[in-house]
Amino acid sequence: MNKKLQGYVSDFLRDADEHGHGMSHIERVVAMALAFSEKEGADSHVVMLAAYLHEVDDYKLFGDEDADTLPHAREFLLSLGVSAEIEVHVLDIIKNMGYNKYLKGIRPSSLEGKIVSDADMCDALGVTGILRCHDFGRSKGRIFFDSSVAPVRAEVSSEAYKKKDDQHSVQHFFDKLLLLPDIMMTKSGCDEAAKRQNVMIGFLENLFREEGSQIWLDYLKEFLEEHKIVPSV
């Protein structure tokens, strides 16, 4: 079933990579979610299905209506012949995960959902997260860091997040990425996210130092203090 599903999803999302939601992201989320699942004692079959299918109706790729009704995930689950119980569980996970859902106060409730959500968010962190953020910005024609742009200190609501048009990609670390470890839902997710957050903080410190940007170095320090983030050395 694994190979069949991988084939379906990879054919279906052939053109999605430029948005950071392509097959390489999905394969990393599947692998991380399965590793978390083993540690947390969850149902790995459900975790695997939800991890593979979590992008096939994403609002950024397919619009809000598909994100609500999940037609592609339903179709794939039907062709795999899974039980009605598993179908309901997997669709429930996909419907309730994602950062935009979190901003609306919606979160997955089952252990399997929490695991897939944590793995998905962890993939926006660490070295992979830095590269995805860089690639996403480039796909929108933005530069990665502009030291002449002042840090924006505003909170981002769900609607504003959907429409947001940053001047440069580094702002996104402060709007979302560095805050993700706080919203992990499992112990495995917390541990992995903390390690990855640390990598990103070290990266930003070095970037700002190399760019000679005291304003951004000060902002990083202030941000870490405000959010009680203590990087390990």
- Residues engaged in binding ligand ADP (CB under 6 A): 20, 60, 98-100, 124, 129, 132-133, 136-137, 164, 166, 169, 172, 177
- Region class of 98: left (phi > 0), else alpha (psi between -120 and 50), else beta: left
With contact defined as beta carbons under 8 Å apart, do 188 and 36 qualify? Answer: yes
Closest CA to 136 of 163, 168, 103: 168
Shortest distance (Å) from residue 213 CB to ligand ADP: 18
Q: How far is the CB of 125 from ligand ADP (least distance, A)?
A: 9
Q: Shortest gap between Cβ of 211 and ligand ADP (angstroms)?
A: 18
Provide the minimum distance between the beta carbon of 27 and ligand ADP in the complex, in angstroms, as a whole number. Answer: 15
**Rounded to an integer, what distance in angstroms lies between the CA atom of residue 84 and that of residue 88?**
6
Shortest approach of ligand ADP to residue 182 CB, angstroms?
Answer: 15
Nearer residue to ligand ADP within complex by CB, 38 or 64: 64
The residues near 159 (Cβ < 8 Å, ≥ 6 apart) are none
Q: Is the CB of 82 or the CB of 136 nearer to ligand ADP? A: 136
Residue placing its CB nearer to ligand ADP in the complex, 109 or 139: 139
- Both tokens assigned to 118: 């944590």
Position 215, amino acid: I
Nearest CA to 179 out of 232, 102, 92 is that of 102
Nearer to ligand ADP, 10 or 167 (CB): 167
How is residue 153 written in tokens? 């200190």
Give the nearer residue to ligand ADP in terms of CB position, either 98 or 113. Answer: 98
Q: Tell me the C-alpha distance between 197 and 177, whole Å.
A: 8
Decide whether 100 or 110 has the Cβ nearer to ligand ADP: 100
| Shortest separation between residue 37's beta carbon and ligand ADP, angstroms | 19
* Count of CB atoms situated within 10 Å of the CB of 34: 17
